[in-house]
A and B are shown apart, each in its own frame.
Chain A
Amino acid sequence: MPHISIRAEPLFRLYGFVVTNTLVTSAIFLLLFFGVAIYYYKQAAQNYGKRSRLFYFIHYVNRTLYNFLSPILGSKMRLVFPFLGALFFFILLQNWFGLLPGVGSIVLHIGEGAQKETVPLLRGNTTDLNTTLALGIFAVMTIQYYGVRFLGSGNYLRKFINIGNPLSFFVGILEIVSEFSKVISFSFRLFGNIFAGEVLLTVIAFLIPIAASFPFLILEIFVGFIQALIFTLLTAVFINSAATETH
């Protein structure tokens, strides 16, 4: 049975820079993701009737997501949707990429002697805390950006720094902590759910070798979808509340 480690396993060093297996996976994934994105962009520039079925499928998913999120954001949606859509597709496809056959099951033997380790060559990118932390920080920064954009910098920053009376000063500090807790909750929820799924699949596959992991695989596809959706929805909800004037 492979050793389960919470941190991503280092594969090799490139001029002192540690290359982990999640980094390799994310590089492969990003190439594919950019390929699909450029394909969609090129198809959108063509005339009607010349577009492919894949284009219409992606377009349909985009439209569904737009209609799904627009009750939350109202007319702010037009500005925010490119970011939210990119976030949704990025997280969703990364979650699903980790479930593909070969990801996690192709192993390498690294090291010599007593330090010999069995390490998977590829590992789903959202099972690395670095990735989800980056996504969380990025989402929270964007929430601040849209807060300033919609309310104006003076109005928005008054939420955090208010020297009117001692109570509102303290509430401002609590607001700052609340923003940081958004980063933590975003990143740990995504990481926890996806990593737990990977561990579950591994354990089930070693308990009962034949067919038992199939329902869990379907569960993981569902969890990956739900987590991507929750991440996007929460970002939308927080952007909306950041753009609303507080009293």
Chain B
Amino acid sequence: MEGLKYDNRSNKNSPYRIISQSFNLGFYLVAPLIIGVLIGLYLDKIFGKKPSFTLIFILFGTIASFYNLLKIVKEER
């Protein structure tokens, strides 16, 4: 599927962008960690290898959290 042609002029300096991002920041940064913990607990329950999967996915969630932070910083710069 081809992309639409459009004029890509959006104002990056709009204050509302930053306001909305900062309202979301707390939840957006914690969410990957929560997802990681939930997946880890679920896998541990299935395979019965407590707490190995949980630890692996906590690490993964932490990396994903920092990736989200990096994305926000890159966008707002």
Contacts and interface: CB of A to CB of B under 8 A. Distances in A.
Interface of A: 68, 71-76, 79, 148-156, 171, 174, 177-178, 180-182, 184-185, 188-189, 226, 229-230, 233-234, 237, 240-241, 243-244
A178 B9 contact: no
A230 B20 contact: yes
Interface centre among B7, B9, B20, B28 (most CB of A within 10 A): B20
A174 B67 contact: yes
A74 B27 contact: no
A195 to B, nearest CB: 14
B50 interface: no
Given A74-B9, A150-B3, A174-B64, A181 B20 contact: no
Chain B residues touching A, range: 20 to 34
Given A72-B16, A241-B75, A185 B24 contact: yes
B3 A71 contact: no
Per DSSP, are chain A's interface residues mostly helix, strand or loop, or mixed? helix
A127 B28 CA distance: 20
A226 B23 CA distance: 10
A189 B24 contact: yes
Nearest to A241: B75
Contacts of A71: 10-11, 14, 16
